[in-house]
Structure 1
Amino acid sequence: MKRVGILCPSDTELAPLLAHIPSPRTIRKAMLTFYLGTLEGVDVVAVYSGVCKVNAAVAAQILVDAFSASAIFVVGTAGGMAEDVQLFDTVISRQAVYHDVADDILTEYHPWMPTSFFPADAKLLALAEVYGQIAPFPIRFGTIATGEAFIADEGRAEICQKFAPLCVDMETASVA
């Protein structure tokens, strides 16, 4: 793995990570600040993207095009959707899906995907599952649903029934 991208939707989600990157170098692109350095011996570039799908997609594309990120991790807060998801649980996506985009938009038109779900990278997921067995805190694996709206009560049951996500956010599927 050449360089890992870390995308945080808010500055408060990015700040704890930056504390572990010694003397990061900063580069500004497209009104975003990218922080380059090493984290536990891994070459990383981190960015505060801003919330929502478009901001995440723009930041992710820059991570790939300008910084050659070979993997991107979305790190941040999400809303629990499954009944057994608790506050502060760590959730790792097996797959991501848009809860606010019709399924056929992605399957019947460009990019003609076989399904509306974006699978996680199999190798990274396997590594995360190994770590999940020894982690000092519980790690949950499942679907993350992405959309532009904050989900409280309205639409919650429909999203849960259709996608069975562990949590919902505003960025993950756009990065996937």
Structure 2
Amino acid sequence: MMIGIIGAMAQEVTLLASMINSPEKRIIAGVEFIQGELQGHQVVLLRSGVGKVQAAMATTLLHEHYHPSMIINIGSAGGLISGMEIGDIIISSESGHHDVDLSPIGLEPAVLPDLPKTFPSDPELVALVEKVLTELDINSKIGLIATGDAFIADQKQVAMIKEIFPNVLAVEMEAAAIAQVAHLYQTPFIVMRALSDLPDKEMPMSFVEYLDLAAKNSSQIVLKVLEALPAQG
């Protein structure tokens, strides 16, 4: 079983990269893939780059060259609900594109032709991660993560996203693209993001200040989830 782990930025994959045993590195189309053993599992870790195109390309390359049995997307996100703090964890029950709008030709906002409005995460992975987070006593929520090619920095943008996804918990720039590719390849996936900015904070400054904390927290959760997965025989 090969587990694909995707982060967008260097800060989001550095900790895990340093812990992979017998790493084999390969660069394809500018994306660095690191294959090796982590917590008793064969993994391939990659930094996709920021945004939906980079994420979709990297996830496709991952499938074509490494054939993952599951995909875990890690990193940071902006929180869109109250009661959460910087570093808290959001787990995707589903992911969707908040910047897709084909309503002038009769489709619902966020819907692409022949695709669902949201891409559901694997329920077994969600249950496993929820169990791990409960045991660790980490503040977390499970719900919808919205994706778009923009840094969301004001309440007008937040309101527009909530019109499309009223139950959205967090926003970022890669998850739904990864989820869409995984959906098409029928690969189980989950998104685990730590909050780096919140709606009641100065978002751009908060993101810069707390990115490293968010990256560290999401990476540590990945390690615990890998521990909890059945060992490979």
Indicate whether the TM-score tops 0.5.
yes
Whether the aligned pair in 1 keeps the contact of 2:22 and 2:37 (CA below 8 Å) is no
TM-superposed deviation, 1:47: 0.6
Structure 1 or 2: more helix by fraction: 2
| 1:158 to 1:108, Cα distance in 2 relative to 1, 3 A | closer
Q: Residues of 1 paired with 2:31 and 2:160: CA distance? A: 35
Mark the runs of 5 or more structure 1 residues left unpaired by the alignment. Answer: none
Q: Residues of 1 paired with 2:137 and 2:83: CA distance? A: 19
Secondary structure (helix, strand or coil) at the match of 2:119 reads strand
TM-superposed deviation, 1:107: 5.1
Whether the aligned pair in 2 keeps the contact of 1:144 and 1:169 (CA below 8 Å) is yes
Which letter does structure 1 place at the counterpart of 2:177? S
TM-superposed deviation, 1:85: 2.5
Whether the aligned pair in 1 keeps the contact of 2:34 and 2:46 (CA below 8 Å) is yes
Which letter does structure 2 place at the counterpart of 1:31? G
Whether the aligned pair in 1 keeps the contact of 2:32 and 2:47 (CA below 8 Å) is yes
Aligned-residue Cα RMSD (Å) equals 1.7
Whether the aligned pair in 1 keeps the contact of 2:37 and 2:43 (CA below 8 Å) is yes
Q: Choose which of 167, 171, 177 in structure 2 pairs with 1:174.
A: 177
Identical-pair percentage? 35
Residue in 2 that maps onto 1:72 = 71
Q: Residues of 2 paired with 1:41 and 1:136: CA distance? A: 24
Residue in 2 that maps onto 1:157 = 159
Q: Residues of 2 paired with 1:123 and 1:58: CA distance? A: 26
Residue 145 (structure 1) aligned with residue 146 (structure 2): yes
> What pairs with 1:52-67 in structure 2 (closer than 5 Å)?
52-67=51-66
What TM-score do the two structures reach when normalised by structure 1? 0.91
Whether the aligned pair in 1 keeps the contact of 2:100 and 2:112 (CA below 8 Å) is no
Whether the aligned pair in 2 keeps the contact of 1:85 and 1:166 (CA below 8 Å) is no
What TM-score do the two structures reach when normalised by structure 2? 0.69
Q: Residues of 1 paired with 2:131 and 2:80: CA distance? A: 25
> What pairs with 1:20-169 in structure 2 (closer than 5 Å)?
20-102=19-101, 104=107, 109=113, 112-113=114-115, 115-153=116-154, 154-163=156-165, 164-169=167-172
Whether the aligned pair in 2 keeps the contact of 1:9 and 1:50 (CA below 8 Å) is yes
Secondary structure (helix, strand or coil) at the match of 1:77 reads strand
Runs (4 or more) in structure 1 with deviation over 6 Å come to none
Q: How many pairs does the alignment contain?
A: 172
TM-superposed deviation, 1:13: 0.9
Mark the runs of 5 or more structure 2 residues left unpaired by the alignment. Answer: 180-233
Residue in 1 that maps onto 2:208 = none
